[in-house]
Structure 1
Amino acid sequence: MAASRGQNALQWYVAETLPRQEHVAIQNLKRQQFKSFCPRFRKVKRHGRRVETVLAPLFPGYVFVSFDRDRHPWRSIYGTRGVKRLAGIDSARPWPVPEAAMQQILSRCEDGVVTRMADSFEPGQQVRLINGPFAQKIASVESLDDKGRVLILLEILGHKRVLKVNEGSIMSCSAK
């Protein structure tokens, strides 16, 4: 059966990494000839008066690994520096990521960096800010323009304020 699947046998799996070791896991998986992927997004970090934009993992503590469970020596992943385990019922049966879900993630990335969190936003839709001083706050979409900016309505200290944010700074509340 495995031989008849051919190239479609390659599937994506989730590997849990050690804390803040995604880059170590990616490097060591690559050395073992595994294709891996850690989607990142631009995050604004503030420390005192200093503000900088950094690339942060979209799924902290996890990376995606592609392999054919029937043909590749995937059990070696358990001994890979930076990797804690593969997600699954047990170590003998890792769970593949549904192909449609993986395609959604890949289609939103350019060179491993998320360029858009959702296909489109609708007025009235609930969204979560993912970076900036109001990160993790819930807002509602007021309107969109053709340049990728979104007007959102956010409650701040008991008052509703309209803010203009980049489309990449928000995500749908249903996508967590």
Structure 2
Amino acid sequence: MAWYALYTKSRQEKKVAFRLEELGVSCYCPLTKKRKQWSDRKKWVEEPLFKSYVFVNIDLEAQSATVRKVNGVVNFVYWLQKPALIQDSEIVAIQHFLAEHAEVEAHGNLVNIGDFVTLDSGALSGQKAEVIGFKNKHEVRLKIESLGFELVAYINQGP
């Protein structure tokens, strides 16, 4: 048994997780709370943290065909032509992070201080640049290496 990431159809994450649970497949769809505003009201809603991703804890050889047949599943997320293996410690870290922080965002395409990037727009388009810092914000970050995501929770500082 190991954790794998499934790629789902757009906005089908919760439904896929429900269908997998109905089949007895151990799965995890991390949810975060977002405050949504409509013209007449504001409301807290739970949204999937990772768009189009659901995690399954399965025996790949025995259960992969069953998982792929679930309505809403596109396929496994692949890394080096194999289904991407997610570490147990990363799933636990996501669970703890979400338990500690109410509003969390997932940011892809990680860039770190010291990394070199190529500028893709503006007067310096095509030039390489080194990342030397970030704008100072009150935030907590959790890096998920195997997915290439970074979870960010913004902390409201009192007066």
Corresponding position: 1:39 with 2:39: no
Match for residue 13 of structure 2? 22
Instruction: Name the count of aligned residue pairs.
Output: 116
Corresponding position: 1:63 with 2:51: no
Which blocks of at least 5 consecutive residues in structure 1 are unaligned?
A: 1-9, 109-113, 119-127, 131-137, 142-169
Corresponding position: 1:115 with 2:84: no
Residue 95 of structure 1: which of 41, 64, 84 is its match? 84
Using CA pairs below 8 Å that are at least 6 residues apart, which structure has the higher relative contact order? 2
The structure with the larger Rg is 1
Task: State the secondary structure of the residue aligned to 2:55.
Answer: strand
Change (3 A) 1:117 1:18: same
Q: Which amino acid aligns with 2:85?
A: P
Match for residue 137 of structure 2? 140
Match for residue 63 of structure 2? 73
Corresponding position: 1:11 with 2:11: no
Alpha carbons 1:117, 1:171 under 8 Å: kept: no
RMSD: 2.8
Displacement of 1:56 after TM fit?
Answer: 0.9
TM-score for both structures, normalised by structure 1: 0.56
Match for residue 172 of structure 1? 141
Q: Which amino acid aligns with 1:80?
A: V
Task: State the secondary structure of the residue aligned to 2:6.
Answer: strand
For residues 49 and 139 of structure 1, the distance between their equivalents in structure 2, rounded to whole angstroms, comes to: 35
What's the % identity of the aligned pairs?
22
For residues 107 and 86 of structure 1, the distance between their equivalents in structure 2, rounded to whole angstroms, comes to: 25
